[in-house]
Amino acid sequence: MSLKRLTLAAAIAALPFAVRAADTTLSTVVVTGAKEETAASKVGADTLQTLRPATSDTAQLLRDIPGVSLQGAGGVSSLPIVHGLADERLRLTVDGMDLYAACPNHMNTPLSYIDPTQVGAIKVWAGIAPVSAGGDAIGGAIQVESLPPAFAAPGQGSVFKGEVGAFYRSNGDAYGGNLSASYASESFHVSYSGATAQSDNYKAGGDFKNYDFTGRLGHTLPRDEVGSTAYETRNHTLGLAFKGGNHLVEAKVGYQDMPYQLYPNQRMDMLDNESTKLNLRYLGSFDWGRLEARLYHEHVDHYMDFGADKRYWYGSASGGSTALNGTPCSPISSSCAAGMPMYTESKTDGAQVKAEIALSAKDLLRLGAELHRYQLDDWWPPSGAGMWPGTFWNIRDGERNRDALFAEWEAKLSPQWLTLAGLRYEHVTTNAGSAVGYNPAGGGNQGRDANLFNARDHKRTFNNWDMTLLAKYALNPMQDLEFGFAHKERAPSLYELYPWSTWQMAALMNNFVGDGNGYVGNLDLKKEKANTLSATFDWHATDRAWEFKATPYYTRVDDYIDAVQWDATNNIPRTTPVVNAFTVLKYMNQDARLYGLDLSGKLPLAKTGVGEFGLKGLLNYTNGKNRTTGDELYNIMPLNAKLTLTHKLGGWDNAVELVMVKGKDKVSDVRNEIKTPGYSLINLRASYGWKQARVDFGIENLFDKLYYLPTGGTYVGQGTTMTNPALPNYPQWGTAVPGPGRSLYAGFNYKF
């Protein structure tokens, strides 16, 4: 361990003071009317504080929300899964901005653009989301908000305050820090927030042994190290806000610089990602209610190639031999490749206007309009050895534009009944320019596929309708029943429609699910149409000291976008499936259904002289089936549960977590998804808080258990990922991505 890390760890362990984060609230714009939320789960302030030192991945903050699991990706970019539906089947927003991943592997997901230390609130609708929470999604909505601006109280003058913190995690030698500061008067607020985090590859638990490749050059991995799990990221936000009476104007400028984020379940790595965001917001209250307007812009420059763990070669290093996966060689030629550079650039522009109108003391009407403009270019410059002499255009001049209108009525019909009814319409258009390969006369049917693609009209139009009906009934002060129905529709994404090449090498680059296969787009895709029924039974104490919730749900999806194995030679579906190996698939509309059950609860156990003890629990079950083929849906989290024993005494807040996951034996055959064994993990967490400071420490995977991530995809984190699988240093099918082994962590925060 380096001296710098040792010094940081010692400083954290010895720090005699720390802070409990106090809630920072903007003076509220009050709207009369029902104003009660249904179906939403919130990540509590205690959970945010507890998990920040343990993770640099904002999606990990959702781990205690019923119905939510995570799809493995890079160290700061895992994707939430809600009731078996993930990625763009969910509506993810950050500070109100509706963003897409601008990458054929979806490496720069929306939640990767905000550090856990910058998160102020998270709200999750699992399955049934109000139409006001967004459209063009069938699986729910997740809203992440940074801390709101705080102004000086009347007569207080000016206020300057801030926060500084740092963390260290032993597995991967991960460390980072955060700094925020603000100056405010009664009407003006200016703030800065910055965070940085980096990690080497993490080590798996137990006796994990990665590939024992031969013929390698340069970087060599220890046998227990999980390749391509390192990352470095830096996030900065500058904010300005002005308040006058019941009106607020806010502007935020965000910048992310991510020098690298490596991927154990993808054949490429992110070696640079820069994002710039501008977010303007107006919020005001009037006699009739509240009005909110927002304008935002995002620009992303994204670059992928092979990271150090994937830069290997096999064979002679001289005599004109082929260099694989970026072994240094020059000049590039038909037998010499210097890597496989891939670039993506995107621009997003959005506008929103939302009004909340108090029709009466019991009725609230929400109206809104949204515009969303998205542009994408995805190109791969020539680099030799079959990837030359020209540029491969995966998606050129891609566009995905959305215009939306919605209306939502929330009514307090009686002291017992609360209802919500909403309707949303979205007009979605997509388009893309002409395709061209590295060499139209080259291998992989590049010329044939490009010609077939270019001969067709690429513009597509979709008219999406969403409807939500929810009701909440208070049976008595200790029992509530919430139930509802939702019809949701989603148009295909650019990366589902427009990747045109059946060439295995090109198809392998278009994969955002981490299963090691290649994917081909389909211009004939229809929109997905989902109908969901859900109910929540809520038993609780009148003061919520104890509670138990049970949520069964059922979703039926027509024209679900799944995939079929594809015969590239004949350009038709495979008649004989490939089994227990990687293959190429093409997106195809089929039908699906999902059902499951979420259980959650908490219970105080005892108040003693040594503190208060309590118990929290969580259980999730999802079953997903392709109704057309009878196959299992991909990446469904098996039955899992978490039991947490909590303890509080003075400034101490401690917990022992037991995480239990059943073996995954229901897998997607068409994707040759890998089965994973069941496992149990023990995590220890502790914190101590003072008035202005807080220190956290803990151990994850206490007993260094070897386990495999059920939704982490297949391990292709090292070796010549783009060459013939017969070569001995090519990632072989059959190994799932292992989870991290034991990790000790510590963190502190100080408020000034």
Which pLDDT value is given to residue 328?
58
Q: Would residue 11 count as lying in a domain?
A: no
Strands 572-573 and 652-661: unpaired
Residue with tokens 């072994």: 327
DSSP lists the bridge partners of residue 749 as 165, 694
Which pLDDT value is given to residue 23?
33
Cβ neighbours of residue 620 under 8 Å, at least 6 residues apart?
A: 66, 67, 68, 69, 596, 597, 598, 599, 637, 639, 640, 641
Q: Would residue 6 count as lying in a domain?
A: no
* Burial of 663 (C-beta count, 10 Å sphere; 0-12/13-18/19+): middle
* Burial of 48 (C-beta count, 10 Å sphere; 0-12/13-18/19+): middle
Dihedral sign for Cα atoms in the order 201, 205, 206, 208: negative
Structure tokens at 309: 């763990």
How much helix, strand and coil, in percent to the nearest 5, is found in the chain?
10, 50, 40
Strands 140-146 and 91-94: parallel
Structure tokens at 46: 């205690």
Q: Would residue 652 count as lying in a domain?
A: yes
Owning domain of residue 238: 19-751
Strands 528-540 and 547-567: antiparallel
> What three-state secondary structure class fits 52?
helix
Which pLDDT value is given to residue 213?
59
The closest alpha carbon to 673, from 627, 631, 706, 726, belongs to 631
Residues 59 and 80 sit within 8 Å (Cβ to Cβ)? yes
> What is the DSSP code (8-state) at residue 329?
-
Residue with tokens 């992110």: 270
Total domain count, the chain: 1
Which pLDDT value is given to residue 319?
35
Distance between CA atoms of residues 149 and 245, nearest Å: 15
* Burial of 643 (C-beta count, 10 Å sphere; 0-12/13-18/19+): middle
User: Measured in Å, how far apart are the chain's first and last C-alpha atoms?
Assistant: 31
| CATH number of the domain enclosing 593 | 2.40.170.20
User: Per-10-residue mean pLDDT for the chain, 752 residues long?
Assistant: 39 33 33 52 91 97 96 96 97 96 96 96 93 96 96 95 98 98 98 98 92 55 91 98 97 98 97 98 97 98 93 48 54 75 98 97 97 98 89 98 98 95 98 97 95 98 98 96 97 98 96 97 98 97 96 98 97 97 97 98 96 97 98 98 98 98 98 98 98 97 98 92 67 93 98 96
Backbone angles phi, psi at 539, to 5 degrees: -105, 135
Q: Would residue 164 count as lying in a domain?
A: yes
